[in-house]
Chains A and B, each alone.
Chain A
Amino acid sequence: MSKPKLQARLAALSFSEKIKILEKLRDREKAIAASGLRKDKPQPHPPSDTPNKGS
């Protein structure tokens, strides 16, 4: 099914049905966030405690 057709089909659902989909999407977002799989911001390198010994 093309994207516009799928969008039209989803848009035609009742508000209650759409809210159920929103709740599933929200729960999925929460699960992904809780799993630590997604890092929204790049983590800075921690400052090193050891002096740079060079090569």
Chain B
Amino acid sequence: MKATLEAINQMQADGIIGAYAIGGAVGATFYLAPAATVDLDVFATLPGASATGIVSLSPIYEFLTSRGGAVQDEYIVVGGWPVQFLLPGNALEQEAVARAASTDVEGAPTRVMSAEHLVAIALNTGRAKDHSRILQFLEQNAVDRKKLQDVIERHGLSAKWNQFERRFLAGTQ
């Protein structure tokens, strides 16, 4: 993972990507007990993308393949980790990248989305594994419920949250 993050950081230093943050299962691992995952989700902004209206991940792929990365389906394998680069597609994801927490992995600096944003994104995505992850955050008391409520309300996810509560939390609180 250290080599993976160093490659991503170099890409950022070279201006290929702007701000980035780790999300998904690896991001959740920052707050939770580790659970098996095979890939790394990186939400990254692209400099100039909004100015042109054209968005392409090609510069990322070109940069990393020229340094030994291998494309594998929707992933690019860097430092032994299949990495999926995602562009923040809505205000919630943009905020999650902007407010990510700084940390490091074996000395390699990186940024991880906040627990509240990880939960809100999982809620918005809404697959079974996302619901499972939300429950892990709640069971392990790894999320600030007031902050989470704020994120949920500001990003129009109250109806989804209410539905999630009815389905999974009824009778547990």
Contacts and interface: CB of A to CB of B under 8 A. Distances in A.
Interface of A: 6-8, 10-11, 13, 15-16, 18-19, 21-23, 25-26, 28-30
A11 B28 CA distance: 10
Interface stretch (B41-49, B89-97, B98-106, B151-159): B98-106
A22 to B, nearest CB: 5
Contact of B36 (A11, A19, A25): A25
Contact of A15 (B37, B105, B139): B105
Dominant secondary structure of chain A at its interface with chain B: helix
Given A15-B29, A19-B29, A22-B29, A10 B104 contact: no
Interface of B: 1, 26, 29-38, 80, 103-106, 112, 139-140, 142
A29 B30 CA distance: 21
Contacts of A28: 36
B105 A19 contact: yes
Contacts of B31: 11
Given A11-B142, A22-B29, A16 B106 contact: yes
Contacts of A8: 33, 140
B32 A11 contact: yes
Given A10-B33, A15-B30, A18-B30, A23 B1 contact: yes
